Amino acid sequence: MYASRTGTKRNLAALRAAGWRLMVSATGAHRTEGFRYALDNGAWTAHQQGLPFDFGAFERVVAGLGAGADFIVAPDIVGAGLASLRLSEEWLPRLDGIGARRLVAVQDGMRPDDVAPLLGPEIGIAVGGSTAWKLDTMRAWGTLARSACAHLHVLRVNTARRIRMCQDAPIPATAPA
């Protein structure tokens, strides 16, 4: 489990005691607080704020923390389907060899067949997109990740209901780093 980075000592202690890791976003503070961590590209935050994707911030967090990351979510475009996939495909070679693995953020309109050729132990899936689409397609992405021996991470799991849905989704055959 990964939680958004927080600076609150009490929350950090609770996360540490529970064995959680941190999700460090390109749009936030680039600190790990001594946790194992993954890197998010910050596309969701930019989307929510109506701002363009900050490629510079993403490149800075990858340069600073990428080597130790459990995974790095390649740049994507929230809700943009195949246009998002094309952007992620452009970045995958640039991220090769940095961190434990790279993830492609699947977005509204993508189908498992669109993503399947990319997947394997080093390239996995980050389930993004609109909340409704994510919840409706989560099991399909889990099934695909399992069949490809690829890592699966569901983004923005911020309710007990979503945690239970993730627990019920097919678990990939690979374990996190």
Cα separation, 70 vs 84, whole angstroms: 22
Spell out the domain ranges in the chain: 2-168
The average confidence (pLDDT) of the chain is 89
Confidence band for 67, pLDDT divided at 50, 70 and 90: very high
Greater pLDDT, 16 or 160 = 16
Cα separation, 49 vs 14, whole angstroms: 29
The neighbouring-strand residues paired with 153 are 126
Q: Which residue has the tokens 């609150």?
A: 8
Provide mean pLDDT across the span 102-112.
96
- Which strand (E) or helix (H) includes residue 153? strand 152-154
Provide mean pLDDT across the span 2-28.
88
CATH number listed for the domain at residues 2-168 = 3.20.20
Cα separation, 1 vs 176, whole angstroms: 10
- The yes-or-no verdict on residue 89 having pLDDT over 50 is yes
Cα separation, 125 vs 91, whole angstroms: 14
Residue-level pLDDT at 163: 64
